[in-house]
């Protein structure tokens, strides 16, 4: 299982790639494997204000429906519209073209609460 070292992770299995004051968010390879074949993705609307830990979307698979939780507080400034027509992209490329949204970070100190790759590896192996 791939856990890129440059990303940060939530205990709810979201990944975060920080670029300045923006954070690109998606679900981890571990999460997409647990879900199985993804058939539908609900991303937040542009301009939505999210709080860390709040549900802000859904990923539906052939097995179940799972909420996606905001790993950071902020405003949604970009969404991956391509997932509407190709939700299976999350299965194929969870850390690349399977991203969900980008958040303009409201409180950079929240990054400290996220896990690094080693800590996330320990979480999923527990």
Residue 16 forms part of a structural domain? yes
Residue 114 forms part of a structural domain? no
Residue range of the domain that includes 34:
8-108
Contacts of 1 (CB under 8 A, 6+ apart): 29, 30, 33, 124
Q: What is the pTM of this model?
A: 0.94
- Among residues of the chain, what percentage have pLDDT more than 90? 97
Which pLDDT tens digit goes with each residue over 62-84? Answer: 989 999 999 999 999 999 999 99
Residue 2 forms part of a structural domain? no
Output the tens digit of pLDDT for each of the chain's 126 residues. 899 999 999 999 999 999 999 999 999 999 999 999 999 999 999 999 999 999 999 999 998 999 999 999 999 999 999 999 999 999 999 999 999 999 999 999 999 999 999 999 999 997
Enumerate the β-bridge partners of residue 16.
Answer: 8, 25
Residue 115 forms part of a structural domain? no
Residue 123 forms part of a structural domain? no
Residue 122 forms part of a structural domain? no
Q: How many structural domains comprise the chain?
A: 1
């Amino acid at each position: 299982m791939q856990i890129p070292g440059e990303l940060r992770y939530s205990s709810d299995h979201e990944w975060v790639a920080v670029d300045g004051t923006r954070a690109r968010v998606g679900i981890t390879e571990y999460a997409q494997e647990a879900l199985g074949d993804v058939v539908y993705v609900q991303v937040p609307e542009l301009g939505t204000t999210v709080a860390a830990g709040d549900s802000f979307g859904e990923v539906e698979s052939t097995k179940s429906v799972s909420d996606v939780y905001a790993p950071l507080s902020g405003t949604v400034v970009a969404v991956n519209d391509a997932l509407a027509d190709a939700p299976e992209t999350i299965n194929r490329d969870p850390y690349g073209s399977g991203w969900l949204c980008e958040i303009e970070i409201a409180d950079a100190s929240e990054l400290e609460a996220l896990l690094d790759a080693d800590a996330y590896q320990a979480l999923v192996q527990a």
